[in-house]
Amino acid sequence: MQKLLSRFGILTVLSAFLLFSCNNNDDEAIKSSSVIYTSKLPDGIQNADIIQLNYTFKELNTGKVSEHTVNGNKELTIDLPTGSYEVSVSGQIKIQLDGGESTEDVVGYISSEAITSTDKNKTIQLFIKVAKGDLILEELFFTGTLSPEGKQYNGDKYFKIYNNSDEILYADGLLIVQSEFLTVEKQAYRPNIMATDFTAGAIIMLPGNGKDFPIAPGKSIVVAEDAINHKELNPNSIDLRTADFEIYNDDMDDVDNPSVKNTLPVFSSMIMHNRGFTSYVLARMPQGMDISQYLAQYNYTYEYDFVFGKDTFPMSNDAYKIPNDWIIDAVNLSVNSEFQWIVTAPSLDAGWTYSGTVDRDSNRYGKGVRRKTLSTSTNGNKILVDTNNSTRDFSAQVKPSLFN
């Protein structure tokens, strides 16, 4: 009996010793470390102020989560138990952009970050958070080119449309709409519907049944006026045979490349004004609506008084309207010396861009407008500037990308 008790006593002492040792090891394992986190602005962003950043730390072994918030351009100093962490950040920054400001959502992520007692300073890269949006106009080439003999050449114009979102989008059913009104001629049109609708002078629609023409994030499509090799007719032009779509006007003697999908005519003939007097929008009709239903419901008759000298002439005309809430992007074009007004609601586009500083500018040929790049997304795709102000969003009178 005494031997049994002695053995029991020894086991008790050993158990207590092992428990004490384990507790000591656990204490060592959860030793805290003071860490300083600094955020790095998104690529390409030089002038920005941090509004707020929300940090989340998840220890990968224990699953324990801690959250911290920083306001303004400050570092985050925190005490964390040593370990391996998943670190995520979300928040907002304010960017100074060509005289204006733009507030952008940002994110950052580190899948595994070691927190030790020796490594105190950490940096996390921020990225612009790409919105779940729709397609935008990346580039418009509308001026045409000059031949080696100095003659004006048309037909090589195009729209370049970009997926600025983080998900696959579809070109099917997309409307490309040219304005009825000119940015160089302001009239008091009656009834004035600009606050609710865009007045269309020409409309085309991209074909497809819903998911026939996917566009991956960070990719673009080209809609060409004529999808041919224009270099064969003008060495100063471009080859547009690889365009995704071709604007085919069946009511004109138009070129038709059978290997490129034709756009569908909705209203009038789409011919890009080569001095940039018109504006353009991208829009989508409500699901289930077809062209015939649209034409039956959205016609628009307007009137205005045309003043010539001392005489006034009552005028009227018929067009179609696109509700502003259908519009996913808008770009106003004009000419510096002739600009009078934008022909969209300011909520759609509060500015305008150009390729040519004076009317009939001979230097405009071979130039277009291209949307600026803001930064890159977490998967490396470029993020284009989209503040709904074409003056800030676009580089004016630049060499179009398809000429490079």
Tokens linked to 347: 């909520």
Q: Which residues is 159 bridged to in the sheet?
A: 140, 223
Tokens linked to 76: 């985050």
Amino acid at 221: I
Asked whether 322 and 308 are in contact (CB, 8 A), the reply is no
pLDDT digits (tens), the chain, 404 positions: 444 444 444 444 444 444 444 444 444 445 788 999 999 999 888 888 999 999 999 999 999 999 999 999 989 999 999 999 999 999 999 998 777 788 888 989 898 999 998 888 999 999 988 766 789 999 999 999 999 999 999 999 999 999 999 999 999 999 999 999 999 999 999 999 999 999 999 999 999 999 999 999 999 999 999 999 999 999 999 999 999 999 998 877 788 999 999 999 999 999 999 999 999 999 999 999 999 999 999 999 999 999 998 999 999 999 999 999 999 999 999 999 999 999 999 999 999 999 999 999 999 999 999 999 999 988 889 999 998 999 999 999 999 999 97
Number of Cβ within 10 Å of residue 402's Cβ equals 18
Tokens linked to 17: 């010793």
Domains of the chain: 32-128 (2.60.40.2100), 135-403 (no CATH)
Q: Which residues is 133 bridged to in the sheet?
A: none
**Alpha-carbon distance 336 to 178, whole Å?**
20
Closest CA to 243 of 264, 219, 224, 268: 224
Asked whether 172 and 207 are in contact (CB, 8 A), the reply is yes
What three-state secondary structure class fits 9?
A: helix
Amino acid at 8: F
**Alpha-carbon distance 286 to 200, whole Å?**
17
Asked whether 110 and 126 are in contact (CB, 8 A), the reply is no
Longest dimension (CA), the chain: 129
- The distance from CA 20 to its chain's CA centroid, rounded to whole angstroms, is 60
The continuous run of DSSP H or E covering 322 comes out as strand 311-323
What three-state secondary structure class fits 215?
A: strand
